[in-house]
Chain A
């Protein structure tokens, strides 16, 4: 009987000590982490993206925008004033050829690398300056052929800041444009 009383007293004391120290109640929340890996398909560069010869104003920034309208044609416009000439006869959209099985949905991504000329920037919008647009397309099914080659045309937006003339004459500046296709 005496042992029982001691045990009860000890239990009560333990409970009071825990209360004085506080109880840290943790909780855990969970979401999913996901990544979709798709498989590259064959693609080859077929024609360089060429903005042609452009007249650069000395007193204003200017942006030229090239929009491909077909695999071989593109329009070129600028946001500059009348003093900015646009040589509409000397530009070409870039072209890549994608080879993949018919019926596949092909995703496209484009990036501009190695373009570090001072005062110049080149961007390519996958939605408005690439054909097919929107970043993906369904590979046609020209039966009975099991595979098909799809031309991809790219334009871009070339911006020149005021006074950025160094390196533009005598051969121009070159950028590397990479297009990746996968399904």
Chain B
């Protein structure tokens, strides 16, 4: 029993002398600005796509879709803090997400999600801004509604061991 107590005490002393590896500083990501495609009408007979560019929020149309309020959308914006200058960080985006109509329950798929910077970046200060855009695909005669869904990104430090 005496030996057991010594062994436990030794382990506790060793743990206390080590740095707290579970608390290694990591990035903190907060969502600042929603991704907004704006107001759009679908065609009765044909489908169409609406794209928001990650870099500048510009809006472009393809297929048959009618964007209202001009060709400027709002790209998503995330603020990343707690970065270490010179370290590389990876950005993970979902491959697609389904926006759901609050009244109709119908869906609009958003894919081709792209970020600015794209897939990784090297921190030049302790914080960085990540912008995200994507393409919304409207079906012919898409029901009028407000469609929305949460859009999450994950930022991970690139390990160098």
Chain A contact residues, CB within 8 Å of chain B: 1, 4-5, 8, 11-12, 15-16, 18-40, 107-109, 111, 126, 135-136, 180, 182
Number of interface residues, chain B, beta carbon within 8 A: 72
**Contact call B24/A25, Cβ cutoff below 8 A:** yes
Interface string of B39-50 (1 = CB under 8 A from A): 111111000001
Q: Which residue of B lies closest to A181 (CB)?
A: B41
A180 to B40, CA, bound (A): 10
Q: How far is the CB of B94 from chain A (nearest CB, A)?
A: 10
Chain B contact residues, CB within 8 Å of chain A: 1, 3-4, 7-8, 11, 14-15, 18-19, 21-22, 24-44, 50, 66-70, 76-80, 97, 99, 101, 108, 110, 134, 136, 138, 142-161
Contact of B78 among A5, A8, A21, A29 (CB under 8 A): A29
A135 to B66, CA, bound (A): 13
A37 to B40, CA, bound (A): 5
**Contact call B7/A31, Cβ cutoff below 8 A:** no
- 11 inter-chain pairs at a CB distance below 8 angstroms, sorted by A residue, are A5-B4, A11-B11, A12-B15, A15-B15, A26-B156, A32-B35, A33-B99, A34-B146, A36-B39, A107-B41, A108-B68
Contact of B26 among A1, A25, A33 (CB under 8 A): A25
With a cutoff of 8 Å between Cβ atoms, the chain B residues found around residue A20 in the complex are 161
Q: Which residue of A lies closest to B151 (CB)?
A: A33
**Contact call B29/A27, Cβ cutoff below 8 A:** yes
**Contact call A23/B8, Cβ cutoff below 8 A:** no
**Contact call A135/B7, Cβ cutoff below 8 A:** no
